[in-house]
Every structure is written in structure tokens, then in C-alpha cells.
Amino acid sequence: MAEEKIDIQVPGHRILRQLGRGGMANVYLAVQESMEREVALKVMLPELGASDPSFSQRFVREAKIIAKLSHPHVNAVYDVGIAGPYHYFTMEYITGGDLKSRIRQGMSPKAALSILRQITSALAFAHSKGYVHRDVKPENVLFRDSGTAVLTDFGIAKTNDTASSMTATGAIMGTPYYMSPEQAMGREIDQRSDIYSLGAMVFEMFTGKVPYTGDSAISIGIKHLKDPLPQLPPPLHVYQPLLDKFLAKDPAHRFQTGEEAMAAIDALGSGANTLATSATAMNSPVRFDRTVVLDPSATTAQTVIIGTGRAKSRRGALVAAALLVPLIAGATYLALREPAAPLPIAAAPAPVPAAEVAPTSLPAEPARPARVTVEAPKQVASTEDARARKSREREQKLQGLLTRFQELVAPASFSATHAGRAQDLVGEAARLAPDDRRVRALPDRLADAYLNLATIKAEEKNYQEADTLIRRGLELRPDHRQLQALQKDVAEKQKPKRQTFGAF
């Protein structure tokens, strides 16, 4: 019945059904006939454009913004146009539902951090292109079938280009539950406003509730300005410093960029940085000022840090015990490491009767075990110190490599020149720590960087360079679907056009 009521005609598209309805536009599932693929067709309500031309301008502007943001975690735009009274554009059809629905079902902290990291990555890329989203919220985060999170709806995005701005000075746009204090006051905003909105969103992912509620948009806005920072429940206190950094009232006290926020998110997933489980380490402001590059998919490390329940707590206790080993007395250390005959007895803190130390025929030799407990622990402790020092040195070197890698592949700086050096760093890191999850993730990250740069080159019609970048990316990850799709698209565009000649 619903399909029969759709009388919209968009050339080249067959509309199947309605997917959603909004105050500015409706979204339909359609088939793009030239490519035989399903797309999401967004059609602006014609009455809006008729009453105020600025709505049409903003609608077209949204499509153009998204088209410029070719990123794995931004919804892709395929086409934009006008069909009679209808302004429309087509986007990637994403079928995995939205974040709001997943929050209602409940999610683990590990899942929340993974989603946060992906959307922060998308925003960092948008910010590098000069755009502030201004409406970051769970409803605007969708999921592909693969589970990848995608940021959508740039309808009220702000650009640094004041000449093309569609928002009047002092105008307040956004969703009150997720607005930054400066956004709620109608002040000038920058990328740090989106970072605040991310904080509000991650609080909801952790708790199932928004940070502040009220009877009106004004009362909610006042709470964003005046109320204390929301507190996570005790089992999640390890994440409070991260949340506080996102939700700082003063923009100067927040993460200043998406890259900085990603480094802090990655730090929570660090297997090497076991002090992440320590309240002292988490409460240190230095923790969020340093640059750390870690694999967000490091599930083993994250289990230690964010797991709940008895099994995870027991594993965390083992990690804490391991940190205390250097502080244990040498004799006790030997008792733990070598539970054989005389050493545990000599290492015991309480006095032990001579009869238990040696046969009664040797009562005059109680000092012999004592000499063992004094000399042996020093040797073992020295060996352990050397191992710990070597481990620290290796971790410091690895952190340096990972930090440099992140700097090279950042969307704002990645280039064909940087690509070679980044690839060298992947090899160096692999030789240094081949089993480290952060290192194993580097080829994927470099392949994504190749994808982003190749997409830009393709948009500039520099197909030869785009093809070279795609090939390099596929050498790292032959099964990278987006690189494969882009390679086909570039190859198609490089085909010479057929010429037809009339009969003589």
C-alpha cells in the first residue's frame, strides 16, 4: 500500500519504498538503474523550497559536502540533482540500523569505544576539510552489515568558508541533548563543539542515558553550561577522565582535535600500557596530552582494561600482581618461582625450626640456607631488572614508530611521499614487535590512507596517480573491498570513449 502512494519520479531510479521521514526531507529505498544497485534516495520536501529558497541551497550544499568527504566512516554520496519540483541526492544504502537502537539494546564498553573511535576518525577527516558537523548524535550514526559505523546527515554542517555559510550569526542549530555549551549559547563554534557532542554520545553509550535532561531545550542548554560533569557508575570509573576531557565546559580544556581524541581512545586499548588499569594513571592529565598510536581492535588488551565480571576481574588482579613483582623481597620471589626444597623454607618470613631446615644430624649449619637467600635473589633481581629495562626500551622505540606512523597517515598530511616512509615504518615495527596487535593493524591503516588519497586523486581526475595508490594499497590488503571498488571505477573512467561515425 505504501509503495502505491509514492508518485515521485527521479530519472534513472526506481523507488521501492519509504525508509524514513524528516522535517526537511524524506528518504526512500531506490534502485539506481545504471549501476543496478540499491541506494538511499533523499528527497527534499518541495514546499520548503517553494517557501524559502535557502532550504534548497542548504539541501544541495549537504550533498556537496558529503561528496567531498570520501572516508570509510562517512556515508558516500553518488548523485545529486533536480527532478521537476524535487531536489534529491542518492547515498550509500546502509542496512545495519542506527546507534540509538543499539544503545537501547545495551552495549559493552569495548563496543562503545570502538564506535567512538570510528566516528571520531570521520569527524577528524571532516574537520581537516574545514567542516563542523554540528549535529553529532546516535541517530546520525548508522551501521553497515559488516558492523562498520558511518556518520551521516551533514544537513546543518558549518564550513570555515564564511562566504558560503548558510547560518545566521547567533543562530542555534543542533540537537539540545548533544549540544556543546558554546553551541547552546549561539556563539561561534569550531571542531571542539563536535568533540563535546561525541562526549555526550559516548556517555549515552556507556549508561543508556543522555548527560542532561530537562523540560525544554533552554533548560537542557543551561545544564550543559552550568551543571557538573556527569559521572559514570563505579564499574566504569576507569573511563571518567576520558569522558571529562570530551565534556569539558571550556573548549580549551577539551581534546583540541579528533586526532588527539583518537590517541586517548587508543591508549585505553593499549596492551603494553598496563597502567591503564590504575586509577592513578587514568587520573593523570598527562595521559591525554601525549600522542599514542594503538590498534582500536586490540581486543585482548581491551578485555583486561574494560572487562567486567569475575573472570575479567581475576585477570586484572593478575596484571596488578605482575606490576608488583619488582617490589617483592628477593627471598619471597624465589619462593614463588622455585617451590622446590630448601629455598621456600629459607624464604619464609616467619622463623622456621631448625629440624625443618636440615636433618637433626646437622644442627650447626643453619646459616647455609641464609647465604642462598641473600645471594640468589640479587642475581635474579638483576636479571629481571635487565629484562624490564630492555622491555621498556623496546616499548619506547615502538611508541616512537607508531607515533610517527600516525603523523604520516593522518588525512591532513598523507601524501605519496609520506606513503613510502609510512610503509618503511610498518616494516620496522613488524621486526621490532611482530606479535603486537597495534603493529598487525598498521597495514590496514595504511591501506585506508591509500584509499583516501586515491579517492581524492580520482576526484581530481588524476587517474594514473589514483591507480598507483590503489595498487599500493592492494599490495598491503588484497581483499580491501573499497580499494577494489575504486580500482574498477578508475579503470572504467580511463577507458577511451568510443567514437561513432555516420555512413559516407
Give the active site residues.
135
Question: What number of other Cβ atoms are within 10 A of residue 74's Cβ?
Answer: 23
Would you call 375 helix, strand, or coil by DSSP?
Answer: helix
Question: What number of other Cβ atoms are within 10 A of residue 385's Cβ?
Answer: 11
C-alpha cell at 493: 573512467
Q: How many residues does the chain have?
A: 504
DSSP readout, 320-331? HHHHHGGGS-HH
Alpha carbon distance 206, 37 (integer Å): 36
C-alpha cell at 223: 545544564
The secondary structure of 22-89, three-state, reads: CCCEEEEEEEECCCCEEEEEEEECHHHHHHCHHHHHHHHHHHHHHHHCCCCCECCEEEEEEECCEEEE
Would you call 154 helix, strand, or coil by DSSP?
Answer: coil
Question: What number of other Cβ atoms are within 10 A of residue 420's Cβ?
Answer: 12
Burial 427-445 (b: 16+ CB within 10 A, else e): ebbbeebeebbbbbbbbeb
Bridge partners of 38, per DSSP, are 31
Residue type, 448: D
| Contact status, residue 495 vs residue 467, Cβ threshold 8 Å | no
Q: Which ranges of 269-366 would DSSP assign to H, the alpha helix?
A: 279-282, 299-306, 310-324, 330-337, 342-347, 354-357
Alpha carbon distance 438, 434 (integer Å): 9
Pick from 236, 152, 157, 237: nearest CA to 194: 157
Q: Between the CA atoms of 430, 480, 79 and 149, what dihedral angle is there, to the nearest 10 degrees?
A: -70
The secondary structure of 108-126, three-state, reads: CHHHHHHHHHHHHHHHHHH
C-alpha cell at 106: 545495551
Judging by beta carbons within 10 Å of its beta carbon (0-12, 13-18, 19+), is residue 408 exposed, middle or buried?
buried
